[in-house]
Amino acid sequence: MHDDAEFVLADAPDVAMPDERLSTTDQLDSDWLSGLDDDSAEFVRTKGWEDLDAVVRSYQNLESMLGSDRAGRTLTLPKDEADAEAYAEVYDRLGRPEAASDYALEVPDNIAIDEPMMDWYREAAHTAGLSARQASALFDAWNGMAVKRVAAMNQDTQAAQDQGIEALREKWGGAFDRKVAVARQAARRFGGEQSAALEEALGRAGVTEFLAGIGEAVSEDALPAGEGRNSFGLSPDEARANYEQRKRDPGFIAALQDAAHPGHAAASAERARYLAAIWPAR
pLDDT digits (tens, 9 = 90+) for 220-230: 544 344 444 44
Which residues, 6+ apart, have CB-to-CB distance to 24 below 8 Å? 50
Q: CA 178, CA 169: separation in Å to the nearest integer?
A: 11
Q: Looking at mean pLDDT, say which of 176-180, 198-202, 276-280 comes out highest.
A: 176-180
Q: Give pLDDT, residue 69.
A: 64
Proportion of the chain above pLDDT 90, given as a percent? 11
Q: Looking at mean pLDDT, say which of 33-37, 197-201, 254-258 comes out highest.
A: 254-258
- Tell me if 243 sits within 8 A of 278, measured CB to CB: yes
Any domain includes 9: no
End-to-end C-alpha distance for the chain, whole angstroms: 169
Q: Give pLDDT, residue 68.
A: 60
More confident residue, 247 or 35: 247
Q: What domain count does the chain have?
A: 3
Q: Give pLDDT, residue 28.
A: 44
Any domain includes 238: yes
Proportion of the chain above pLDDT 70, given as a percent? 74
Q: Give pLDDT, residue 133.
A: 93
Distance of CA 229 to CAs 39, 43, 273, Å? 111, 109, 12
Any domain includes 118: yes
Any domain includes 181: no
Inform me whether the pLDDT recorded for 25 exceeds 60.
no
Q: Give pLDDT, residue 198.
A: 66
Any domain includes 151: no
Any domain includes 171: no
Segment 75-96 mean pLDDT: 82
Q: Give pLDDT, residue 224.
A: 43
Among the listed ranges 35-49, 238-252, 261-275, which one has the minimum average pLDDT value?
Answer: 261-275
Inform me whether the pLDDT recorded for 119 exceeds 90.
yes
Output the CA angle 60-62-63, nearest 5 degrees: 65
Any domain includes 248: yes
- Tell me if 230 sits within 8 A of 280, measured CB to CB: yes
Any domain includes 163: no
Inform me whether the pLDDT recorded for 9 exceeds 60.
no
Cut 0.75: pTM above it: no
The 10s digit of each residue's pLDDT in 191-228 is 666 667 667 667 788 878 887 877 777 655 443 444 44
Among the listed ranges 27-41, 120-134, 136-150, which one has the minimum average pLDDT value?
Answer: 27-41
Q: CA 107, CA 113: separation in Å to the nearest integer?
A: 7
Q: Looking at mean pLDDT, say which of 96-105, 216-225, 229-238, 264-273 comes out highest.
A: 96-105
More confident residue, 209 or 233: 209
CA-wise closest residue to 209 among 242, 176, 241: 176
Q: Looking at mean pLDDT, say which of 74-78, 132-136, 158-162, 193-197 comes out highest.
A: 132-136
Q: CA 163, CA 176: separation in Å to the nearest integer?
A: 15
CA-wise closest residue to 92 among 75, 71, 80: 75
Q: Can you give the residue range of the structural domain that contains 245?
A: 230-282
